[in-house]
């Protein structure tokens, strides 16, 4: 027997969220990473679950508790994250918050890389990771509402607009990470869509999450009109 859907504005909706950084191995003891804390993505998962959604949270390596009622899938690399997103489909809403590493080491070493004593510095050959959001934007099972994030340190809105088109997303939520946003408690975001730009004031990440989920509930309840 299936439990009846939880009440709430997102009852019956499956929401897939990616969060956190990815780690890309160099060798068994080293990796490439970034400063993403996972807080904004986890806050969105919590807010979506509170709104009654069935939530799949695909999390890179972070030390954060799983929000109540959320199904969590832990991954390490961008490629694992891409596979976990595929496996979670279909969904009604996808929110790609993860700071996916853009590049991975072409061939991670099987053993720890050693200095050879000559002072020679070994090069790291990088290759590009799959773009999870862009793949979803052009996928057969494209979610009806597809949302990306864009962390920018300058020209925030312009870059977000370019990403909206390039990735086939419905919204790009741009945040200015030139301050201490990555890892910090607050966030200032701009929701960029074909309808224009909606800027929210600076607030705690949990409040940003609730505002975004309220907007998601709003558009899901509007009949689609071509
Ligand atoms: N993203 C993704 N897979 C990647 C890179 C990014 O799914 N390999 C998603 C992020 O989760 C985010 C959005 O794409 O929702 C924008 O990420 P961002 O890093 O800002 O965009 P990039 O296209 O990687 O551009 P750049 O880092 O050069 O600004
Ligand atoms: Ca990137």
What string of pLDDT tens digits covers the 226 residues of the chain?
Answer: 766 656 899 999 999 999 999 999 999 999 999 999 999 999 999 999 999 999 999 999 999 999 999 999 999 999 999 999 999 999 999 999 999 999 999 999 999 999 989 999 989 999 999 999 999 999 999 999 999 999 898 999 999 999 999 999 999 999 988 877 677 889 999 999 999 999 999 999 999 999 999 999 999 987 655 4
What six digits make up the tokens of 180?
């201490």
Phi-psi region of 41 (alpha: psi -120 to 50; beta: other; left: phi over 0): alpha
User: Following CA atoms 81, 199, 55, 23 in sequence, which dihedral angle do they give, to the nearest 10 degrees?
Assistant: 20
pTM over 0.90: yes
Helix (H) or strand (E) holding 93: strand 93-96
Ligand 1 centre to CA of 11 (Å) is 29
Catalytic residue flag (residue 186): no
Q: How far apart are CA 145 and CA 16, in angstroms?
A: 11
Residue 131 annotated as binding site: yes
Residue 95 annotated as binding site: no
Q: What confidence score (pLDDT) does residue 63 get?
A: 95
Question: Any idea which residue has 């160099």 for tokens?
Answer: 26
Contacts made by residues 159-162, CB under 8 angstroms, sequence distance 24+: 160/190, 160/192, 161/192
Q: What confidence score (pLDDT) does residue 184 get?
A: 84
CB distance 157 to 175 below 8 Å: no
Question: Average pLDDT, whole number, for the chain?
Answer: 94
Total count of residues recorded for the chain: 226
150 lines ligand 1 (CB under 6 A): yes
163 lines ligand 1 (CB under 6 A): yes
pLDDT (tens digit per residue) in 54-96: 999 999 999 999 999 999 999 999 999 999 999 999 999 999 9
């Amino acid at each position: 027997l299936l439990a009846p859907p939880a009440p709430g504005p997102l009852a019956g909706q499956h929401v897939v969220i990616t969060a956190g950084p990815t780690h890309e191995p160099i060798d068994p003891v080293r990796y490439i990473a970034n400063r993403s804390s996972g807080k904004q993505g986890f806050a969105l998962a919590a807010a979506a679950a509170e709104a009654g959604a069935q939530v799949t949270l695909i999390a890179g390596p972070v030390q954060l508790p799983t929000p109540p009622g959320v199904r969590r899938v832990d991954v390490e690399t961008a490629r694992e994250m891409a596979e976990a997103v595929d496996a979670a489909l279909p969904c009604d809403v996808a929110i790609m918050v993860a700071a996916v590493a853009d590049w991975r080491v072409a061939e991670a070493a099987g053993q720890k890389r050693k200095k050879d004593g000559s002072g020679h510095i070994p090069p790291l050959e990088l290759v590009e990771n799959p773009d999870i959001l862009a793949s979803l934007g052009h996928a057969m099972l494209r979610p009806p509402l597809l949302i990306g994030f864009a962390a920018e340190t300058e020209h925030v809105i312009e870059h977000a607009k370019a990403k909206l088109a390039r990735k086939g997303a419905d919204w790009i939520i741009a945040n200015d990470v030139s301050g201490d946003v990555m890892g910090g408690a607050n966030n200032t975001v701009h929701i960029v869509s074909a309808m224009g730009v909606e800027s929210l004031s600076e607030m705690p990440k949990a409040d940003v999450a609730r505002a975004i989920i309220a907007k998601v509930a709003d558009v899901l309840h509007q009949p689609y009109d071509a």
